[in-house]
Structure 1
Amino acid sequence: MAEQTSTERLPEFKLDGRVIVVSGGARGLGLTQAEALLEAGAIVHAIDLLTTPSDDFSRVAARATELGTSITYHRVDVRDNAVLNATISSLGPIHGLIAAAGIQQETSALDYTPQDVNRMLEVNVTGVFMTAQAVAKAMIQHRTAKGGSICLIASMSATIANKGLICPAYNASKAGVKQLAKNLASEWGQYGIRVNSLSPGYIVTAMVEDLFIKFPERQTDWATQNMLGRLSSPKEFRGAAVFLMSAASSFMTGSDLIIDGGHSAW
């Protein structure tokens, strides 16, 4: 029997009514991806450590209203597992997660303290793990797991050592995130939950722009290190967010999607 065709254009990318959590969603890449999810029809819950989200959050919230959906901000430290689980469990059925919460610290390997390493791993690995766990439990509890999708934000630094950027603990943490996604995918596939990681290259966010003031040479040097000869902007990861959260990626799990301008392909 032939499959029925539809006049609707690319319906597999639609997220109408799907509830998606975005950690690190108060600003930067997380907020940009959250806006893309809203435009695809999703209901978004952003969690972040900031007392109040960035100024751009109010614009995105107004945009959500125009689109007939919503974005809600929840102040949560992903290291506080009790608050994290209480927040996630209060949201009801959840269909997706983009785990973008993370921190960076540029310190020589000879100068790193155990406390700094532990903090990096607590946020970037344990926090990501526990956020994914809380969302997976909610998916299974509310039986939304079928077609549920989780995306962990890793980095090209999970694969390479950044030339001219001294961040050994960060790179190790992102390698952990990439490997974590594969293992969660192997365990949770039985519930219909897909788990993938996204590995961006250098992104020009507000924090990176501040870094360029201190190290102006990096703006030029970093751009020469990939095949396109330029740096990326957060908006260039909008499509990846919608793809990974939607039925468009329905047979994709345990994979790492590298979007780095070819940096790690040299």
Structure 2
Amino acid sequence: MGRLTGQRAIVTGGANGIGRAIATAFAREGCDVFFTALRDEAAARSTLAELRGHGVRADYMLLDGADPDGVPRLMDAAAGALGLADILVNNAATTTRTAYLDLTPEDYERVMAVNLRFPFFATQAFAARLRADGATGSVINISSISAFKAVSAMAHYQCSKAGLSMLTRSAAYELAPFGIRVNTISPGLTATNANASQWRQDPDLWRERSKDIPLGRPGRPEDFAGAAVFLASAESEWMTGGDLVVDGGDAVV
């Protein structure tokens, strides 16, 4: 415990699922946390209480990643609440399950805006503030094995995550001289609130998608918390541009 004591993190999409699990793990390790939520005030307040229960400073804002002014709003709000952040977790994401031939430009644009455009410019703004202060830091992009493993009816999502994974490599290369590390976590199939309609309402589909996972089950949000703490901490100080695949072995099949 205490591996992140004195640090400050921004976690997008931190009110539920993987984002909440990461934010909570950071707080347990002594890190102050500022997180975003899309619209679920009840979940955001619950997360806030949990984080503060660990004795750290915490706050949140409602933010849609498709908002073209969202990045400066987030950076200003986080700085006002906590000061200069050391850690940025680009976790917020969205998708629809739509066959490629049925995808509309509106579907495509929203998924790309939330999943790729926002992390692209959030990383840029985060790094610029660190550089101006002469500080170092860590960016963690939550991508997906969908970045390199195709499934049906998610072409726009898969393209956005492939772009996010390449953003990790590109930003890691350019930001390394400033001591700013950028790494990826690539989750496999995971049960979250966002896909609850699948695993609650269509358990047969969920079992079908899960049957080939070597470790025998889909992921839980908590399965990614340890990887995120590692990438945020000094334990990974000589790691940048990397991708931790956390998927129960799914990508090896």
TM-score, length basis structure 2: 0.92
Partner of 1:26: 15
| Deviation of 1:141 (Å) | 2.2
Tell whether 2:58 aligns with 1:67: no
Partner of 2:107: 116
* Whole-angstrom CA distance in 1 between matches of 2:48 and 2:107: 35
Residue ranges of structure 2 left out of the alignment (5+ in a row): none
- 2:191–2:199 Cα contact (<8 Å) kept: no
- 2:48–2:60 Cα contact (<8 Å) kept: no
Choose from 108, 116, 141 the match for 1:125.
Answer: 116
- 2:150–2:158 Cα contact (<8 Å) kept: yes
- 1:78–1:131 Cα contact (<8 Å) kept: no
- Root-mean-square deviation (Å): 1.7
Secondary structure in 1 matching 2:110: helix
Choose from 230, 247, 262 the match for 2:234.
Answer: 247
* Whole-angstrom CA distance in 2 between matches of 1:141 and 1:76: 25
Partner of 2:159: 172
Change (3 A) 1:77 1:63: closer
| Deviation of 1:177 (Å) | 0.5
Tell whether 2:26 aligns with 1:37: yes
Cα offsets for 1:62-121 (capped at 9, x unmatched) = 333332202211122233343421331351311001100110111111111122111111
Partner of 2:184: 197
- 2:184–2:243 Cα contact (<8 Å) kept: yes
Structure having the larger proportion of residues in helix? 2
Change (3 A) 1:192 1:83: same
Cα offsets for 1:132-183 (capped at 9, x unmatched) = 11211221223222xx100111001001012xx4211101110110011100
Partner of 1:181: 168
Cα offsets for 1:171-203 (capped at 9, x unmatched) = 111011001110000110011000011100011
Partner of 2:41: 52
Choose from 190, 207, 211 the match for 1:220.
Answer: 207
- Equivalent pairs counted in the alignment come to 249
Partner of 1:3: none
* Whole-angstrom CA distance in 1 between matches of 2:36 and 2:134: 23
Secondary structure in 1 matching 2:26: helix
TM-score, length basis structure 1: 0.88
* Whole-angstrom CA distance in 1 between matches of 2:9 and 2:17: 17
Residue ranges of structure 1 left out of the alignment (5+ in a row): 1-10
Secondary structure in 2 matching 1:110: helix
Tell whether 2:147 aligns with 1:158: yes
Change (3 A) 1:150 1:81: same
* Whole-angstrom CA distance in 1 between matches of 2:190 and 2:249: 14
| Deviation of 1:51 (Å) | 5.6
* Whole-angstrom CA distance in 2 between matches of 1:83 and 1:108: 29
Change (3 A) 1:207 1:89: closer
Structure 1 ranges of 4+ moved more than 6 A: none
| Deviation of 1:205 (Å) | 1.1
* Whole-angstrom CA distance in 1 between matches of 2:184 and 2:126: 16
